[in-house]
Amino acid sequence: MLVGADTAASANREARARRKKAEADRLQAEKEERARGNLEVASRIIAKRRARRAEEQKLAEEAERINKQRMFLGAAKAAIEERHFEQQMLGAEREAKARQTEAKQAARTAEEIKRIQNNARNVRQKRAAAAKKEREAEGVRQLNSARRRMYASYVEDMNEKKVRRRSNCTACVT
């Protein structure tokens, strides 16, 4: 029985060794399987990171392009606004110049009208003064003429009286 026990013990040892080896092989296989899975997961993670970085790079480039475009559009918008402001200023200057020209023309017209009215008033005054002077001169002439006639009539009356007196006196003398 010893031999059988020895064989049984040896068989048990061999069975244990096989079980240990099978367990070790299974653990090794699981370990290798986990390592392969980890490598696959790691490679997928790395690929995702690369894809994400590439996408982030694309987005950053797109954002930079958009910022540049906005900057150019902003500059263009500023230029357009500046040009619009300049046009408004030029328009305001033209309007001011037109108003100023119109005001100057109105002032010149008013001055011309005033000058014409003054000239007309002066002409009327001179004519009125000349007419008055002429009327006064005519009055003086008529007065002098009336005086001469009256004097002539007076002289004639006196001469007639003298003649009557003399004719009366000549009758007295003879």
- As a whole number of angstroms, the distance between CA 111 and CA 103 comes to 12
Asked whether residue 173 carries a pLDDT value surpassing 80, the answer given is no
What is the SS3 assignment for 108? helix
- Segment (H or E) for 174: none
Residue 69 carries which DSSP code? H
| Poorest-pLDDT segment among 1-10, 78-87, 133-142 | 1-10
Q: What is the mean pLDDT of residues 14-28?
A: 87
Higher per-residue pLDDT: 173 or 111: 111
Q: What is the pLDDT of residues 87-136, one digit of tens each?
A: 999 988 999 999 999 999 999 999 999 999 999 999 999 999 999 999 99
* Paired tokens of 116: 């014409």
The model's pTM is 0.37
Instruction: Give me the chain's average pLDDT, please.
Output: 88
Residue 165 pLDDT: 84
